[in-house]
Amino acid sequence: MGVYLGLILWRTKCLVLCIFMTFMLGCFIALTPITSDVCDCADNQPSDLTERKTEEQTYQTEGDKAKHKLAVLVPFRDRFDELLEFAPHMHKFLKKQNINHQIFVLNQIDSYRFNRAALINVGFREVCPECDYIAMHDVDLLPLNSQLSYGYPESGPFHVASPQLHPRYNYSTFVGGILLIKRHMHDRVRRKRDMTKCFNQIQVTRHRDLETGMNTVSYKLAEVRQMSIDDAPVTVLNVKLHCDKLLTPWCECGSNNPSVQRTATASKLKKSG
């Protein structure tokens, strides 16, 4: 009987312990934020970034901030679901830092291949004359660490998305993307990228282009529209880029590009001749 009672007591103890542990585990899970896909990159790379942040934070007082205005230039085509996340996030993030700002979506509506650099040039030329600094901003990069300052870069360009923090471009000469990454949304299937290099594109674009750019970008601004995504005001510029197919035939890779045909045939002839 005594043994029997002891066994019951022991089982009850185990049961209570199990219930207690399950309860504690439940509490732990409930209190842990769901951030498994979030990279608080600044925390992973404290030294470099913290140093630069400190610099950034000390040069700008609240009073200074009011004097400056930031134009956020977003090169864009067919990434609406990302924009729905980007605009409210950025607006909230910048508002928290008291950054006077406006978000511009540079929407490429022609049928040429996507041209990020040309769109940024168009944005720079077309928007916000009162803005005294810009952020070239990919739509799929979200700043996460609120310590990262988007303040006026008094001492020269500030590359927020330093190479160590970029999930794909971690070579020292990388400049792009700009921001800390909350999560990288590339999906090879859902979001195919146009990585084609047609005809002599590789040889030509490998060299630094000293001729074309801001002054030569040719386009038509088809429409400017104001919209808001949640409470984030966004200005959308519908841009039709022009393309000099003799100069940059790869703006259109397909067989419907007669100059590509000509160039390709010419280079083939040259090579074999």
Given the rule CB under 6 A, which of 49-57, 132-140, 156-164, 233-241 is the region that contacts ligand UDP? 132-140
Residue 223 forms beta bridges with which residues?
Answer: 238
| Residues within the interface to Mn ion (CB under 5 A) | 140
Residue facing ligand UDP at closest CB distance: 138
Cβ proximity to Mn ion: between 110 and 140 the closer is: 140
How far is Cα 233 from Cα 221, in angstroms, rounded to an integer? 20
Closest distance to ligand UDP from the beta carbon of 255 (Å)? 21
Q: Residue 218, Cα to own-chain centre: how many angstroms? A: 25
How far is Cα 29 from Cα 210, in angstroms, rounded to an integer? 55
How far is Cα 185 from Cα 38, in angstroms, rounded to an integer? 11
- Choose among 156, 146, 35: nearest CA to 95: 146
Residue 193 near ligand UDP by CB under 6 A: yes
C-alpha neighbours within 13 Å on the C-beta side of residue 94: 26
How far is Cα 179 from Cα 185, in angstroms, rounded to an integer? 14
Please choose which of ligand UDP, Mn ion, none residue 78 contacts, taking the beta carbon within 5 to 8 angstroms, the exact cut-off set by kind.
ligand UDP
Residue 138 near ligand UDP by CB under 6 A: yes
Residues 198-237 that bind ligand UDP (CB under 6 A): none
Closest distance to ligand UDP from the beta carbon of 117 (Å)? 10
Residue 56 near ligand UDP by CB under 6 A: no
Number of residues counted as binding ligand UDP (CB under 6 A): 14
Structure tokens at 56: 């950034």
| Interacting residues with ligand UDP (CB under 6 A) | 74-79, 114, 116, 138-140, 168, 176, 193
